[in-house]
Every structure is written in structure tokens, then in C-alpha cells.
Structure 1
């Protein structure tokens, strides 16, 4: 029977009063339970879908799942069963508006409201995940809001146990493309807790900005965006704190292992993003000769300026995030009080001056019998973090005996695909450059100033023809004039 014809009819002990919604599995009605004399939300499995044993089992599981989730942000289940060959589930009727409709009507939430909604949905997801269940369709349309923005996560009808893989058949991807994690398009093993966390990050972004993370023209473009495009930055919208950019970048990381480990962890990070950045830590600088010790902040991000305060320039273009040289120390006058003391003080002053100035020094300091060696170049002093990930036959400057950075430049990213090898390098002035190798014929290419994107990714643009090389932990994608020329999955990838 068609959905619009059921309103006003009788279904077992229920009087179907009004159709509330239609989903992939069935229909939801406002109904009157004549036995218990109460108004409920009644979900009925579509007659045609009821012929499928897969859908029948999924529907039965929804009732059991939702009934055992005793969490305030999951709508309670009253009863479930079967009437005349049609499965039903009886739930508490909650009057409100789903988040999708709320955003369409009122626009984006304030950052604080968005965090409060995400915190509530995270609590519901954590309860489900702790029970071994994955929702699989976290999206604004499945988040019901009351007048006080109390949030419920609804429609567990497509939730499933992680081990219940027989219910995920080929070609039957469940969930909305706009919120689906990239691995769900790559593999046939079904969704995971991490995929729910990815979807929740998408919901957070949409709540902050008022639109889905990737605005595309169709399903294929949406799939490609989730797989290849770096996570968007919500702070581009006025009023959204910059700290949310990292929350979204982590929650929507292409690699599931790099996302938050729980929905509540994402929610806590979002809550922290509401606050301004903490003050920079102080470090106590050893006293210069005859002067007091000084505490000063350690720069957390080096500004892209040269020594005179003007933008640093390399090859006619602004350099990318150059590292500032360490501050120089000025010696203070010393009054000699004895030959030995004067000699010791002067010796210490000379060493201190050379250590804190930009002069080339290669030496060591000994503390408690342990010697530590520090090497400083005339340009800058940098510390190179270890790689995240591994690539065979590589070292700190790229591929051993192959594609490498210049002698003094560390590799920030190295990767290999079936057709290519690549390396992204950093100079001692903070500039980046990209080098690629086509394995089939040995052809190489170098592009200046690739732009860091996401976590561990870069975009390099060839100024000659505009070809873009999008480098992520998952793939190397080559795009020209808006057309994808190639997508090469990463076999190995490492970045700093």
C-alpha cells in the first residue's frame, strides 16, 4: 500500500494519524496506540522491502538495538513486532525539527550551539559503539532537535553490528554520500566506528558553515571529493574560531587511523576550539655575561617574514613559512675582580655569544657527564620531526639512490605509487619544492612552492600549464583544467 494511503487507516492496535517521514527502509507515522492510550511514532517496513530477508533482519535488529541503548539522546523504543506480515517498531514521539531543516530555515548554528549539538550526538554514538553497533548514516536529517536544541540521534534502522557483515551486500552502500568516509567508497567491508566519527565531523562542519563539506554537482564528484580533496576549513566563515579547522581536519582525515578514536574525543576537541589559543609557553634564557636570566615566549608558528620584518622572498615569490633565526644575544660590560675570574667570565661570554648568535658553530655542552652536540647553520636552526608512516628505501632526504632533496634539505613527504615516485622538500629558508618521477620512462619534474593541505598532504601547481598535483596519504591525483588526468593510489606514503 502506498505511504500516502496509510494515513487515517488502522494498523493492528494503532490508528495511523499522520505520515511523518519516508526513508529507505519504510515509513514513520504519528499514531495512536489504542491499547495503551498514547501517541507514538510508528515505523513500518515498506511492503516491497519486507520481501527481502536482508531488510527484514535489518529492521528486527533496529528494534533490539534501540531498545537496549539506554542513553538520553537515543529515542526510547516501546515495542516492536509484526502485523499482517508487516514489521513495525513503536517509539516515543518527539516533536521537533531535524537539524537539516533547522539549518535551512535559520542558517548556521553559532559555534557554541554547534558544539552542544555535537556533544549530545557524540554521547549517543559512544553508547552505540560501546554496544558494538555502528549507525552508518549520521547526518543532519537524522538528528532531531527540540526547541531547546536538545538533540536526538534517530534512525538506527540501518545500524549494524561490526561483525554482522553478511547484511552488507555489494552495491548496497547505506548512508548519504555527503557524509560518507572515503574508505566506504574504497572497500566492501562495510562501515566502522571511525566512519561514524567522520560523518559526525561533517555534521559539525555543516552546523558551523551552513553547507555540506564538499559542494559538488553529483555523486561521482562527491565521492571524489571525500577521497581526494583536503578537509575544508570552517574558519573561512566569519565568526568561526580557527581552532575548528584542526578539529575538522582530524575528524575528516582520509586515513581512519588518524581520526579521533571516539565521538566524544571529537566533541571534546570541538569544545576546546571555542576557547582562544593558550598563551605561548615561556622559556628561561641563560643570562648573558653580567646580565639577568630572561623569560620569553617560544614562537609556536614562525611568521613568514625576513630579518627586516618584510615578507621573505625566494625566486621572486613569497617564501612559504620560513623559519626565523634564533635571536642574538648582546654582551653586557663586565667588571674584572680578579685574573682567574675575569678569564672564566670572558671565556663563558665568548662561548655564549657564539652559541646565541647566528654564527656557524659546531660544538658541545657537558652536563652531568653527558655531552650533547648542537649544529647550527648560518641561515636557520631547524628540527626535523620523524616520519609518520614508512616508505621502503628512503632516508631523511628521499629515496636512497633515486629521487631526493638537495643535500641540506630534508624531505617532508615521500610517496610511491605504481606509476610514480614523489618527494616534497624544504629549504633552509622554509620554502618547499616538489619533485616527481614517472617510473615508466624516468621522466622527472620539479615544481616550486607546493602548498601544505590537510594533514601530511600538499598541492603542487605547475605554473607553465596549471596542472595540479594533489598529494594525500591515499593517492596522487593529477588535475588539469578541472579534468582528472590520473588518480594513482599510494602504495607507501610518509610525511613529517
Structure 2
């Protein structure tokens, strides 16, 4: 079937592609399940360290998606995670444009809940953006978001892997202070990125690099939600909302989080974005190319016109055998 990676994972089909590598659907015969696996394009000292760092992040939370395991082969490595079928927030915004305020507030609340969890364990994500926010295929039901891709995450008190002018993260979502020399990872940078994600959710466009919050003036956003977004998107980290928990408190006061699912999603539906399995693959793994050896074989009866001939042949054989036995008996006597 597909190529085997590291003697275990069978590559089925590519599901997506990013800057660091290709995400494949793989079959894991040991676990008897399909998984998503990111295969890194290039392995150097820094990317290997980031890869090892991602493997150390094991946070159990409904809105956090961390790797299940990893494997290496020659100069390539992959790490596996469950398949999340609803695509990413980037896909959702690309399909529908600006999201309804209740949906934007609900997704922002789930993102902040994930950040509150990882910050509580001393981890800074450093690359919060719509492409790293995966969604379950919930259809018209209540959405479910998962924060993923911890490849550049770091502990608050852990030394950085890059120094000088190199900055990790994604432009447009990167907090202004991250560009300053000597900046050390701080959870407030993730909160700024969450604010920029919120700007993109309510406007349908990627935030500008200079004055991203100005875009809120051109859309119909409830003032309470706009106030929460402005608090997260403050350029000055000293004036920014200090914690994810505090931002969630502000969201709760808006009355936009929760309620009937139909009111949350409106006319938006979060579709299943994962393609059908390729030919030769079934829900329980690779399909057998031929009939299994253990399959029962049903004896076939001869056609009616052949039965008379068959009976005659049997009779002749039996009769011939009796004649031979009689001749042998007489000769012996």
C-alpha cells in the first residue's frame, strides 16, 4: 500500500502542508487506527531541539492538542496526533468570512481557556494564529476548538533557541515586544496573538501590522466584545489584559458566550474537511487486495447435465474394483 515510515507508520495521503513540513494521514497498525502525522521537511540542530521540545509538552485538556508520539528515520522525523476533522479557523474564515459575534466570542473563549491551561503550566505557545486552531467537525452544533502546533513553545524560564535578530512566530499575530532585543517569552505575547485572532474572526481579514485594532471600527461588533479584543491587542504589554482568565471574565460579562447552539453558529456549519480514504483503504485499515485465505469456500454442485456422466464414471470405477478383487481372490485360492 503506502510507504512505511520508521517501520511502523504507513503513509496514506497528505492532508495539508505548512512551513515546517507535510501533514499526512497515516495508518498505525500497532494502535489499529488512523492518525495525523507531521513529517518535518528538514532537520537541523535548532529544529530538532524544537521537535524534542514539542514532544515534552503533554497537556491534557479538551481545547489543547499535543502530540501522541514520534518516530525518526534517517534525517526525517514525524510526530503523530489525532485527526481533527473540521479544518482550522483559517479554513472557517476563508469559507465564511467574518464570523457572527456569538461564534467569535465562543471560539475566543475556548482559545483563552486553552491558553489559561498552558500558561498555568509555565508554557508559552509563541505561535497562536488561525492556522494552528483546529476545529472538530461539529456541523451546526456548538463548536469545539483545539490549540495545536507546539513546535516553538517554550517554558517561561527556559532559554530561547534563537538569539539576535531571529524571531519565532508569525507576522501579524506576533506581539510588538517580541521584536525587541533580549525579549524573554511571556504569556502576554500569546494574549496579544489571541486578540489578533479575534480581530480576524470579526473582520474576516488578517490584521494589519501597524494599527490592527482600527479595523474594529468598520464592523458591527458588540461593544463588550470589542472592549475585550482591544484589551488583548494593546501594543504595550503593561496595559494589555494580564491573563487569559481575566479576559475570559470580560467575555462572560458580554453575555455572548454560551446559549443555544443555533444562536452561536447562526448559518455557519463546520464541515468535515478530511477527504475520503483513497482506494484500497477502509475504516479499519488497508483493505485486503484478495479474498482472505480464511474465507469459507462453498462447494459447487456440478450442473444437472453432468450428473449422469459423473454417476456412470463412479459406477464403472466401483465395478472395476470389484472385478479385480474377485480375480485376485480366485487366483489366491
TM-score (norm 2): 0.70
Higher strand residue share: 1
* Structure 1 stretches of at least 4 aligned residues deviating more than 3 Å after TM superposition: none
Residue in 2 aligned with 1:35? 30
| 1:79-118 pair list within 5 angstroms | 79-118=69-108
Question: Aligned-pair distance for 1:236?
Answer: 3.1
Contact 2:124 2:187 in 1 (8 A): yes
SS of the residue corresponding to residue 232 of structure 1 reads helix
SS of the residue corresponding to residue 19 of structure 1 reads strand
SS of the residue corresponding to residue 238 of structure 2 reads helix
Question: Aligned-pair distance for 1:245?
Answer: 2.9
Structure 1 residue corresponding to 2:45, chosen from 53, 61, 74: 53
Contact 1:233 1:248 in 2 (8 A): no
Residue in 2 aligned with 1:261? 242
Does 1:237 find its partner at 2:227? no
Q: Distance in 2 between matches of 1:181 and 1:18?
A: 36
Question: Aligned-pair distance for 1:57?
Answer: 0.9
| 1:213-228 pair list within 5 angstroms | 213-214=207-208, 222=209, 225=210
Q: Distance in 2 between matches of 1:89 and 1:74?
A: 16
**How has the CA–CA distance of structure 1 residues 170 and 231 changed in structure 2, closer, same or farther, with 3 Å as cutoff?**
same
CA deviations 1:232-285 (Å, max 9, x no partner) are 2525313x212233222211111111111212322332332346xxxxxxxxxx
**How has the CA–CA distance of structure 1 residues 231 and 89 changed in structure 2, closer, same or farther, with 3 Å as cutoff?**
same
Contact 1:235 1:241 in 2 (8 A): no
Contact 1:45 1:87 in 2 (8 A): yes
Residue in 2 aligned with 1:185? 179
Structure 1 residue corresponding to 2:230, chosen from 234, 241, 249: 249
- Unpaired segments ≥5 residues, structure 2: 257-333
Q: Distance in 2 between matches of 1:271 and 1:205?
A: 18
| 1:295-314 pair list within 5 angstroms | none
Q: Distance in 2 between matches of 1:175 and 1:76?
A: 18
CA deviations 1:158-184 (Å, max 9, x no partner) are 111122224123333121111111111
Question: Aligned-pair distance for 1:105?
Answer: 0.7
Contact 2:128 2:173 in 1 (8 A): yes
SS of the residue corresponding to residue 16 of structure 2 reads strand
Q: Distance in 1 between matches of 2:98 and 2:137?
A: 16
Larger Rg: 2
Question: Aligned-pair distance for 1:131?
Answer: 1.6
Q: Distance in 2 between matches of 1:159 and 1:23?
A: 17
Contact 1:80 1:89 in 2 (8 A): yes
Q: Distance in 1 between matches of 2:130 and 2:66?
A: 20
Contact 2:134 2:147 in 1 (8 A): yes
Q: Distance in 1 between matches of 2:76 and 2:234?
A: 41
Q: Distance in 1 between matches of 2:37 and 2:48?
A: 16
Structure 2 residue corresponding to 1:139, chosen from 110, 129, 139: 129
Residue in 2 aligned with 1:271? 252
Residue in 1 aligned with 2:39? 44
Residue in 2 aligned with 1:168? 162
**How has the CA–CA distance of structure 1 residues 166 and 249 changed in structure 2, closer, same or farther, with 3 Å as cutoff?**
closer
Residue in 2 aligned with 1:120? 110
Aligned residues: 251
Contact 2:213 2:233 in 1 (8 A): yes
Contact 1:232 1:249 in 2 (8 A): no
**How has the CA–CA distance of structure 1 residues 230 and 94 changed in structure 2, closer, same or farther, with 3 Å as cutoff?**
closer
Q: Distance in 2 between matches of 1:234 and 1:270?
A: 16
